[in-house]
Structure 1
Amino acid sequence: MKTSELRQRFLDYFASRGHRVVASSSVVGPADDPTVMWTNAGMVQFKDLFLGKEKRDYTRAATSQKCLRAGGKHNDLDQVGFTARHHTFFEMLGNFSFGDYFKADAIAFAWELVTGPRDKGCLGLDPARLWVSVFEGADGIPADEEARALWAKAGVPPDHILAFGKKDNFWQMGDTGPCGPCSEIHYDRGPQYAGDDLPNGEGDRVMEIWNLVFMQYDRDAQGNLKPLPRPSIDTGMGLERVASILQGVDSNYEIDLFQPIFEAIWKRAKVDPAQRAETTNRTASQVIADHIRAATFMVFDGVVPSNEGRGYVLRKIIRRALRFGRKLGIEGRFFAELCPSVFAAMGDAYPELEAELSRISKTLAREENQFSLTLTTGLKQLESLDTASGSIPGTEIFKLYDTFGFPVDLVEDWCRERGLACDLEGFNAALREQKAKGRAAMKVHDIRLGGDLAALADLRATAFLGYEVTEAQAKVMALFDAGSRRVKELTGTGFVLLDHTPFYAQSGGQVGDTGVLRAEGVTCTVTDTTAPAPRRHLHHVAVSGSRALREGETVLASVDAERRARIRAHHTATHLLHAALRDVLGTHVKQAGSVVDPERLRFDFNHFAPLEPDQVLEIERLVNEQTLGAYRTTSQVMPIEEALAAGAMALFGEKYGETVRVVSVPGFSRELCGGTHVANTGEIGLVKIVSEGAVAAGVRRLEAVAGAAALHRLQEDEHLLGALARQVNTPREALGGVIAAKEARIHELERELKETRLKAASSGGAAEQVEQIGGRTVVTLSVEGIDGPALREMMDQVRTRHRSAVIALASKLAEDKLAILVSVSLDLVASADAGALLKAMAPFVDGRGGGKKELAQGGGSKPQGLPEAFAALRAALG
């Protein structure tokens, strides 16, 4: 059975049993959940449903979810390629019940699907090869005898139902919250595989294929368990694992899904076909095959390589694949060229990949090019290290690895070639320390519903009226004080929940509204509006007046309409900028973040290079063409599938429901957006781009102003240009030429000054101190204003006068900056080491540096310590 058929059978089976088939969410964790970096299980997109923070129009669902495990709690990266089962990217099949059915139906569904006949849409696995595990009870939690009885009722032989402890058969979302026992289905692959013939034993013989989690308890902060009012089901079946069983192969990597990818890899590898199965070659090819799938979907979902967060994980995955490519003898760039093979393997399930292949390939190719620079930089760093001790310290290896991304195995190779020891123990200690810090940093908790704010999930959703009005009567549904405690009356500062409101809650980059809530005798100044739970708008207020604000009373909610108008203008301008960027730069451009407030807009987007000035002007022209045309905008609520089919843009990191709002400027822009917008583009006025730059590798940022803010910016620019023109006594249109001429003159004067200083410092060697120490000529010289390149040129001139000598040159560049260069002629390197001499000098000038025996360079921040530094050099030679 092909993997694509298996995936579809699973979804069809549960669809026929009343489940909503829900599309896979992004591999990137939800933008509003700081506890999740990656989607590492099928339940992630339903987390708020399980927690009761969100409700949808269905109570049972089925998915084939794209998952990533390469960081945080679930991190399989180091095992990938070396085992038959580990992946960074994989698909998890799952069925879910949100307070609908529970154990009886979940167990019956699972057993029927796994063992039922294939001609009835099931998988037809032999029941005699299947084992089921249940929770045996621990720490006061009773054994799950109910599950045992239900499995037996479904048809599992009693002697094939085994009980295990909390490690294997108890699941919890976190230290607190939903938890419960779970049951796993295991498959015995036969005696031809090494290992135990029972579940959870050693070896590969018996393999887990499906985990059914029974969420039936809620754990509080004290560790106490109480039954959930609406028990739920969360299951996860590994697509690749089950496919390997159905296709009768030994490894996940041998299933049909990977074959197009391996074909592409072997076309580029310098490995004889007869040697492909050899352990080193097989491992390397599996690493690359796994990592190209992961990297393709990560970039598709908006991640770009960088030195932090998700981008750092992607960078590690790419560079790990490139290192293993070297083991296959692949020369030159190759990783980005594998993207089409991922589409060939998975395009039937993810057809949306095709339109993004060019962008994905360019992103990966850029990282490949960068890595070649990394190798060059890393080798330079290695060459500059002090190796006098005969070893490379672990801290330096870690610095190369962590700061420059230089592979540790290449450090080992470099050391081996030079007969140097490689302190891997010290490296591993530094790595463990970093991981410990990383784990501590990952222990963040979702504080959005801290205190009594958790009650928001049980209160009626706020009806948002702000698309139509900026003022409305509303009822106070709940009050919370500044400490998030629920109160009946509120004074001072706190939070107000209304039954409906014209106030927009911060979301999608748009800031929250401000304004006033009024009732007789009380005025509440609204300083912000947020939605800590979906569709629950909390008004941040400061209460004033003759009395407190009371729960249940009616208020007049008035938005600051003038501020809202400026926000609307900037938000619609953001949509126009997005469309113009795609028109000018290409359809690979996707939003990667935004901020919309009354004063400006900030728009982050994926692109590979800085924008040319002409491109910025063209983007501005296209946007202002739309604002000058005064076109009517439209908004429409429709099913998300219909919206996407109509070409609406979905934004990176946003979470959408079953129905979405589509905002359009006809013929120019169409995006999914819940924000507030102008009714006519003419309301925006002028749009002016004020800056463009990089914020991360492959991510650019535009900042712009619209309307009154744009007018204010233009007036400031006019005033500045006028002042500059008057200062240099030239017409405005000639300013560019005048400034260029002055810059050229400054550069020429700087060059002349540098040459004069160098000539004065080098002429005749009058300032040189020449002495004999230990039978060697030692030359020291201190100058000012000679920077690195010129100092090396000066060293060459001093060497012509002193063919056999130890020479130390120092140049004061500023009150807190000193450059030092130490040279040892080749005939003296047996008795003097330039790097060691520089190291002896460094403490006296608060400096550092390094190099080879014949030449070392460094610097310091304490020029006044130079006499002591020269004395230390003489002492080291004596």
Structure 2
Amino acid sequence: MQWRSGKEIRSLFIDFWVSKGSKHFPSFSLIPDDPSLLFTIAGMVPFKPYYLGIQKPEAPRAVTSQKCVRTNDIDNVGRTARHHTFFEMLGNFAWGDYFKKESITWGWEFLTEVIGLEPDRMSVTIYEDDDEAYDTWHKLVGIPDQRIFRFGKDDNFWFMGNQGPCGPCSEIMYDQGPEFSCGRPECAVGCDCDRYLEIWNHVFTQFDLQKDGTLVPLPKKNIDTGMGLERLTSIVQRVRTDFETDLFMPMIERACAMGGIHYGYSPKTDLAVRVIADHVRSVAFMIADGILPSNDGRGYVLRRLLRRAARFGRLLGVDRPFLLDFLPDVIGLMGDPYRELIDNRLTVEQIIDVEEKRFGRTLEQGTELLDGEVARLRGAGRTELPGDVAFVLYDTYGFPLELTMEIADENGFTVDRAGFDREMTAQRERARASSKQKRSALAGDVYSELNERLGDTPFTGYAMAESENSVAAIIVDGEEADSLEEGMEGEIILDSTAFYGEKGGQVGDTGVLSSAGGKAEVTDTVIRCRGLVVHKVKVLSGSLAVGDPVRSCVNDERRRAVRRNHTATHLLHEALGRVLGGHVRQSGSLVGESSLRFDFTHFEAMTREQLIAVEMEVNARILENSDLTVEESDMEHAREMGAKALFEEKYGDVVRVVRIPDFSAELCGGLHVASTGEIGCFKILREEGIGSGTRRITAVTGLVAVRLFQKLWRHVNDLGAMLAVDENAVLEKVEQLQAEVKVLRRKRDEEKMNALSAGLQESLHWFALPEGVQGVYGSFGAVGADALREIGDRLKNGKREDALVILLASVDGDNVQVVSMADDMAVEKGVSAGKIVREASKMLGGGGGGRPNLAQGGGKDPAALPKVFEAFQGWVEGQIRS
């Protein structure tokens, strides 16, 4: 068998199935259309509607190398030879076309003749009753009977759900040799060890599972196969694990160089570099597909993987942000064929950079939490860290259990492993439940049935706002109907339409449908099931029936406003990239008639100067009055033109490129002005953050913007009149008044503080402590934390020789605020204001904390304050002794 690279194996697989008449589909997004799945977890996921009969296949045969993410076994990544979060699944598929004979014999041909696997090393498993598969393997392929194994439904029968398409499957196993064996006498095909390695599963979808459990033969039988590229590559390259293939080794070698270690010398460091290599691939691909860090869903998984990789780097001794160093390796290995890594490189770089730096701060918070728990438990005489605390550190702060155990051991503690394992098991069960592809939310409905029958609705609205059509179908309450009467609401599908269905952020058109016998208001237009355009209507008079000829009239004034805002989003997108940098990518938009909303990737609030620069750039292009050009192209040619592709959009073979000459080009199916001058003017209303790494701009154009300018000018005029100054001097006058108010407030605060200080000594209680430390505490009326800190600063600045630790409180009704301070000498002797405030706040029924020299907190139980002051001296003495 010839050594081949992972890239070469991928190409050979695709080329082979194309030679058998299959259509090659480039990898689909990691974000699936199936709402029951967080990620694309298998090659068949993008084609699930074909297996369910919801959609008609674009081609009867297909081949893909599909990027996938699975995280239900994340803790096994790096510990085993085969577990990954990101992987590629090689698959060939057929719908009502070839079946078992072709799938099996062609698959065997690929493995033995193209890849060169040794036939006598391979065995197969089949479903126990599948004699057709047995005959194909035995009689046509020639595999001996002793290397064909029959298993039951748990191993060799595939179900999509409790009902629907299902069928037997056949797995091809490769004997890697006795050196891979677990060593048990009973080791054979079916053993969990790595000797007999499953490399390719062929699923024969031939039955329809009924409610009562019976299997009814499908009228059209289907093929679905899946083979891990990483696994096949490890066999071809004769290495023990997937991580030793050329798909991973560049990242592993870089991680080893960073940590100053050698791969294969230590299980602990091997685990770390494997996790980093695996996770950095996942992170790069997830961001390139438009997934951004967040606290739930896909974004949470992304954040967790990134932090986990960063934490394992620290276990190698790398104490700086380092993940960006791996991006050239990932792009070098995977940029061909995954162009999205190249197109979105700047975005990937910025998100990784900012998120990893942010994790450094989170790591400090987790360490503080752990230190606090250790101190609390030690004070209670305990030496075991609870398992749920260890799990919170793991799940929320990214602490691997090994790190928590190491820190705990340094403090003389152990960790409740059983409690941690219980929490981990519960999380794994939740993850598995959410990632099982057989729990599909996809189902056929009236829209899919109509799309199957009528096809996609032709759109004629690019060139016209009125058209002559006929009613192709009517829907009422989710069911087809023959007609709609006056006063009724429903949905109408036309044979073609000038109405734009909501898509790509652009709202749907409104207007009127009229026939000889009736008239209906179109309140919205949406797209259902691929390209079926659905008009939501209310019948104003008469009736409309299936087959009626109708005149379609779009509300063109509203549409022109939408066109202005849509073209303005293209100008805004390009202007943001020019002002902020190439990392900017659109992550969402809403184009309406009154305003536009544009979401984009950026990791800090824009400055006033940047917002002004963007506004000026957009308005300059509007004044140029450039004519827009629109052309249809294939994706590759569009990319060569520099056209931007948007994260959330899925594109077909033919794409529509909207160009603003000498400025921007984007893939877009929406409606636009003929020339930029039609936009009139552009004004940003606000810029705000809507999530980690995502900003939002809301803006207006045309007459809406003009009315806004007029309104603002009226306000400035009114302010000038109120302040008795010219409009140009309003700002200067307000600043002058603010300065005067600031002086008056400062005088007032000084007077309050002087009055408080006059009776200060009567409110304070002093005591002496070991090691030359002096303590003082006191309670005051309803003063703020700022006043307590001011009192503390005055005490610290007083003349004295001893070290000083302070605890001050203020009571306002049921609210208690506490501030603790320790000078440098006290801190050197072991005093921590942060720990004092944590203990005090707990007794007061609240929370708080801070640094060793300054901390604040509070609670809702003022009656506990005397007990806090009683315990204060003991806390400080304990800190000094320890």
Whole-angstrom distance in 2 between the partners of 1:51 and 1:151: 28
Q: Contact 2:311–2:399 (CA<8 Å) still a contact in 1?
A: no
Whole-angstrom distance in 1 between the partners of 2:738 and 2:667: 48
Whole-angstrom distance in 2 between the partners of 1:179 and 1:586: 50
In the TM superposition, what whole-angstrom CA distance separates every residue of 1:624-645 from its partner, at most 9, and x where no partner exists? 2222222222222222232223
Whole-angstrom distance in 2 between the partners of 1:804 and 1:629: 71
Q: May I ask how many residue pairs the two structures share in their alignment? A: 846
| Alignment partner, residue 879 of structure 2 | none
1:697 offset after TM fit, Å?
2.3
Structure 1 residue 2 corresponds to structure 2 residue 1 = no
| Alignment partner, residue 533 of structure 1 | 529
SS at 2:454 equivalent = coil
Match for 1:498: what amino acid? L
Structure 1 residue 86 corresponds to structure 2 residue 83 = yes
> Which runs of structure 2 are paired with 1:560-599 in the superposition (5 Å)?
560-599=555-594
| Alignment partner, residue 146 of structure 1 | 132
Whole-angstrom distance in 1 between the partners of 2:850 and 2:620: 59
2:703 is aligned, of 697, 701, 708, to 708
1:238 offset after TM fit, Å?
1.0
1:188 offset after TM fit, Å?
0.8
In the TM superposition, what whole-angstrom CA distance separates every residue of 1:3-39 from its partner, at most 9, and x where no partner exists? 222111111111111112221223x313x44223222
1:554 offset after TM fit, Å?
2.6
1:371 is aligned, of 349, 359, 362, to 359
> Which runs of structure 2 are paired with 1:773-812 in the superposition (5 Å)?
779-787=777-785, 790-795=787-792, 797=794, 809-812=808-811
In the TM superposition, what whole-angstrom CA distance separates every residue of 1:390-441 from its partner, at most 9, and x where no partner exists? 4655555555555554555444444333334545555555566666667777
SS at 1:257 equivalent = coil
SS at 1:459 equivalent = helix
2:172 is aligned, of 154, 174, 185, to 185
Unaligned runs of at least 5 residues, structure 2: 769-773, 875-882
| Alignment partner, residue 838 of structure 1 | 840
In the TM superposition, what whole-angstrom CA distance separates every residue of 1:123-177 from its partner, at most 9, and x where no partner exists? 12111111112222xxxxxx32222222222333233221222332222334444
Provide TM-score, normalisation by structure 1. 0.88
Q: Contact 1:85–1:241 (CA<8 Å) still a contact in 2?
A: yes
1:185 offset after TM fit, Å?
0.9
Match for 1:811: what amino acid? S
2:510 is aligned, of 504, 514, 521, to 514
1:783 offset after TM fit, Å?
2.7
Q: Contact 1:782–1:810 (CA<8 Å) still a contact in 2?
A: yes
Structure 1 residue 524 corresponds to structure 2 residue 520 = yes
In the TM superposition, what whole-angstrom CA distance separates every residue of 1:486-509 from its partner, at most 9, and x where no partner exists? 222335222222221112111111
| Alignment partner, residue 250 of structure 1 | 240
1:259 offset after TM fit, Å?
2.8
2:19 is aligned, of 8, 16, 20, to 16
Q: CA RMSD in A?
A: 3.5
1:239 offset after TM fit, Å?
0.9
Q: Contact 2:492–2:536 (CA<8 Å) still a contact in 1?
A: yes
> Which runs of structure 2 are paired with 1:140-289 in the superposition (5 Å)?
143-152=129-138, 153-195=140-182, 197-219=187-209, 225-271=215-261, 273=262, 276-289=264-277
Q: Contact 1:840–1:869 (CA<8 Å) still a contact in 2?
A: no
Whole-angstrom distance in 2 between the partners of 1:729 and 1:406: 62
Whole-angstrom distance in 2 between the partners of 1:442 and 1:221: 23
Q: Cα distance 1:853–1:351, how it changes in 2: closer, same or farther (>3 A)? A: closer
SS at 2:605 equivalent = coil
| Alignment partner, residue 482 of structure 2 | 488
SS at 1:594 equivalent = strand
Whole-angstrom distance in 1 between the partners of 2:442 and 2:461: 23
Whole-angstrom distance in 2 between the partners of 1:255 and 1:793: 63
Whole-angstrom distance in 1 between the partners of 2:99 and 2:406: 57
SS at 1:784 equivalent = coil
SS at 2:781 equivalent = strand
| Alignment partner, residue 418 of structure 1 | 411
| Alignment partner, residue 291 of structure 1 | 279
Whole-angstrom distance in 2 between the partners of 1:729 and 1:400: 60
Whole-angstrom distance in 2 between the partners of 1:367 and 1:283: 23
Judge which range, 393-402 or 451-460, deviates more.
393-402
1:556 offset after TM fit, Å?
2.4
Whole-angstrom distance in 2 between the partners of 1:840 and 1:371: 28
Match for 1:170: what amino acid? F
> Which runs of structure 2 are paired with 1:748-767 in the superposition (5 Å)?
748-765=743-760
Q: Contact 2:391–2:424 (CA<8 Å) still a contact in 1?
A: yes
In the TM superposition, what whole-angstrom CA distance separates every residue of 1:95-117 from its partner, at most 9, and x where no partner exists? 1213322222211211111122x
Q: Cα distance 1:88–1:828, how it changes in 2: closer, same or farther (>3 A)? A: closer
Match for 2:45: what amino acid? V
> Which runs of structure 2 are paired with 1:365-764 in the superposition (5 Å)?
365-385=353-373, 386-387=376-377, 388-389=379-380, 390=382, 392=385, 394=387, 396-405=389-398, 408-420=401-413, 422-423=415-416, 425-426=418-419, 452-461=446-455, 462-482=457-477, 484-491=478-485, 492-547=488-543, 549-764=544-759
Q: Contact 1:687–1:707 (CA<8 Å) still a contact in 2?
A: yes
1:533 offset after TM fit, Å?
0.4
Match for 1:809: what amino acid? L
Q: Contact 1:53–1:534 (CA<8 Å) still a contact in 2?
A: no
State, as a whole percentage, how many aligned pairs show the same letter. 41
Whole-angstrom distance in 2 between the partners of 1:339 and 1:794: 52
In the TM superposition, what whole-angstrom CA distance separates every residue of 1:569-616 from its partner, at most 9, and x where no partner exists? 111111121122222233322211111111111111222333232322
Structure 1 residue 768 corresponds to structure 2 residue 757 = no
Q: Cα distance 1:114–1:405, how it changes in 2: closer, same or farther (>3 A)? A: closer
Q: Cα distance 1:731–1:258, how it changes in 2: closer, same or farther (>3 A)? A: same
SS at 1:463 equivalent = coil
Q: Contact 2:160–2:440 (CA<8 Å) still a contact in 1?
A: no
1:460 offset after TM fit, Å?
0.8
Provide TM-score, normalisation by structure 2. 0.87
| Alignment partner, residue 140 of structure 1 | none
Whole-angstrom distance in 2 between the partners of 1:188 and 1:680: 66
Q: Contact 2:289–2:340 (CA<8 Å) still a contact in 1?
A: no
1:771 offset after TM fit, Å?
10
Q: Contact 2:51–2:95 (CA<8 Å) still a contact in 1?
A: yes
Whole-angstrom distance in 1 between the partners of 2:814 and 2:738: 27
Q: Contact 1:93–1:238 (CA<8 Å) still a contact in 2?
A: yes
Q: Contact 1:838–1:856 (CA<8 Å) still a contact in 2?
A: no
Match for 1:337: what amino acid? D
1:242 offset after TM fit, Å?
0.9
1:874 offset after TM fit, Å?
7.0
Match for 1:787: what amino acid? A
Q: Cα distance 1:448–1:65, how it changes in 2: closer, same or farther (>3 A)? A: closer
| Alignment partner, residue 126 of structure 1 | 118
Unaligned runs of at least 5 residues, structure 1: 117-121, 137-142
| Alignment partner, residue 119 of structure 1 | none
Match for 2:469: what amino acid? A
Whole-angstrom distance in 2 between the partners of 1:807 and 1:433: 45
Match for 1:44: what amino acid? V
Q: Contact 2:199–2:227 (CA<8 Å) still a contact in 1?
A: yes
Q: Contact 2:308–2:398 (CA<8 Å) still a contact in 1?
A: no
Q: Cα distance 1:13–1:873, how it changes in 2: closer, same or farther (>3 A)? A: closer
Match for 2:195: what amino acid? R
Whole-angstrom distance in 2 between the partners of 1:675 and 1:546: 33
SS at 1:650 equivalent = coil
